[in-house]
Homo-oligomer: A and B are copies of this chain.
């Protein structure tokens, strides 16, 4: 709490310096903030105050702050439109290229071309190089600000290169060794440079077995490599082993968050990322799923409608509809979550199609049997009707088994067909399992009708 208050009073102080037009003091206190806090400050002030900031800070100084800002398209457009276009372009050019490209992708083609036309040819080339990579690939999250050296030099000369390039590079903690064809041939960490003698040759101490990712690799696989090896950065190469860029761990944390959010959203059938204060907007985003599922649910209603005569004769059957569909839906959701998770684990040995689906069906049989026996006992005692209990119990067991089959089979099939299995949402599985459960329930009930009435 103390720290937050301290930051608040600092912010108040800086706003005052801005209001007083005290350039020197403002620069001193503002630049003393951590870059993230600079962004917090910037986002907390008025448009007029921001306009003053643009005249007090260089595009490069603003760029450092923008490297850490995460904003939506509208706010970003607003910020950039407040600056003179040439100032904004220079600011974008001074950012780390991967972050600038993220912003430009958000802004769209027209704005991008506007800003690119105001940059130097060199900056445009760098940005264009990254702009064309497909979403969700290593190429789309890499940056070109890395340090590379050649192998036939000493630790001393490598340290000299490093000192000169430190200001430009996103990380200086790994130095990549390339040959004349720009192919990646080795890597050395700054730690290794520091502990070795100044006269040691790089070729002697560099690691020649470099773990690298290909530019077209899925970002999820890149994240897994980071997890496995505990790296802070990974080099990105093309199919001729040429070094194109690096991916840094902060971008990987974003990837991991993004994937987790998308899996979570998938399971719930709602995009939890787009949180809105506006109920109408929120409803607009949720309705497509709800209405689609309503139509799928209509299939279940139509099916029950075929058994209306049965229900009017044995109204007791209506009592257990929601219990059976509900429980089977719960079991199906469990299967779905486990299957999606196992697919995400990316372990080919354990992810055999049959292993997972058969495993889930067997699990369904066991949980179904025990749940079925439980409900059999409950109904027998409650209604004093063992035959009815038997019908409900058997239907429950079958419905759960089929729900587990659907819950595992559907994501597996989607994965095989090249779709993201996480899109098979929990609500979809429960709605589908409503249909199969009702079908099973009424068929079994018709069969034993004469016995329990």
Q: What separation, in Å, do the CA atoms of A322 and B345 have in the docked complex?
A: 35
Q: Does residue A80 face the partner (Cβ distance < 8 Å to B)?
A: no
Q: What separation, in Å, do the CA atoms of A293 and B33 have in the docked complex?
A: 52
Residues in B whose Cβ lies below 8 Å from that of A279: 359, 362-363, 365-366
Q: Is A338 a contact of B272 with CB atoms below 8 Å?
A: yes
Given that A294-B375, A308-B319, A323-B297 are known contacts, is A195 also in contact with B211, CB under 8 Å in the complex?
no
Q: What separation, in Å, do the CA atoms of A88 and B148 have in the docked complex?
A: 40
Q: Is A269 a contact of B316 with CB atoms below 8 Å?
A: no
Q: What separation, in Å, do the CA atoms of A270 and B360 have in the docked complex?
A: 13
Residues in B whose Cβ lies below 8 Å from that of A305: 316, 319
Contacting residue for A308 out of B33, B308, B316, CB 8 A: B316
| Chain B: minimal CB distance from A174 (Å) | 11
Given that A253-B226, A283-B363, A426-B426 are known contacts, is A290 also in contact with B330, CB under 8 Å in the complex?
yes
Contacting residue for A249 out of B229, B232, B280, B289, CB 8 A: B232
Q: What separation, in Å, do the CA atoms of A438 and B321 have in the docked complex?
A: 11
Q: How many identical chains are in the complex?
A: 2
Q: Does residue A77 face the partner (Cβ distance < 8 Å to B)?
A: no
Q: Is B333 a contact of A304 with CB atoms below 8 Å?
A: no
Q: Is B264 a contact of A294 with CB atoms below 8 Å?
A: no
Q: Is B334 a contact of A286 with CB atoms below 8 Å?
A: yes
Q: Is B250 a contact of A363 with CB atoms below 8 Å?
A: no
Q: Does residue A68 face the partner (Cβ distance < 8 Å to B)?
A: yes
Q: Does residue A267 face the partner (Cβ distance < 8 Å to B)?
A: yes
| Chain B: minimal CB distance from A20 (Å) | 23
Q: What separation, in Å, do the CA atoms of A323 and B265 have in the docked complex?
A: 23
Q: Which residue of B lies closest to A355 (CB)?
A: B277
Interface of A is mostly: helix
Contacting residue for A363 out of B32, B286, B426, CB 8 A: B286
Q: Which of A156-196 contact B (CB under 8 A)?
A: 159, 162-163, 166-167, 172-173, 190-191, 194-195
Interface residues on A, range: 35 or more
Q: Which residue of B lies closest to A428 (CB)?
A: B330
Q: Does residue A136 face the partner (Cβ distance < 8 Å to B)?
A: no
Q: Is A325 a contact of B326 with CB atoms below 8 Å?
A: yes
Given that A194-B159, A253-B256 are known contacts, is A229 also in contact with B34, CB under 8 Å in the complex?
yes
| Chain B: minimal CB distance from A265 (Å) | 7
Q: What separation, in Å, do the CA atoms of A291 and B297 have in the docked complex?
A: 25
Q: What separation, in Å, do the CA atoms of A428 and B416 have in the docked complex?
A: 31
Residues in B whose Cβ lies below 8 Å from that of A249: 232, 249, 253
Contacting residue for A342 out of B253, B260, B275, CB 8 A: B275
Given that A265-B337, A323-B301, A334-B269 are known contacts, is A68 also in contact with B230, CB under 8 Å in the complex?
yes
Q: What separation, in Å, do the CA atoms of A309 and B312 have in the docked complex?
A: 10
Pick from A159, A261, A366 the residue with the most CB of B within 10 Å. A366
Q: Is A298 a contact of B431 with CB atoms below 8 Å?
A: no
Q: Is B264 a contact of A371 with CB atoms below 8 Å?
A: no
Q: Is A327 a contact of B162 with CB atoms below 8 Å?
A: no
A-B contact pairs, 25 of them (CB 8 A): A32-B209, A36-B228, A167-B195, A172-B191, A173-B232, A227-B253, A253-B256, A256-B257, A261-B341, A269-B334, A270-B337, A270-B338, A279-B363, A279-B365, A280-B366, A282-B363, A283-B363, A286-B331, A286-B363, A294-B323, A311-B315, A326-B431, A329-B329, A330-B430, A426-B426
Q: Considering the complex of A and B, which 5 residue pairs feature the smallest CB-CB distances, nearest first?
A: A268-B337, A260-B260, A279-B362, A283-B366, A312-B315
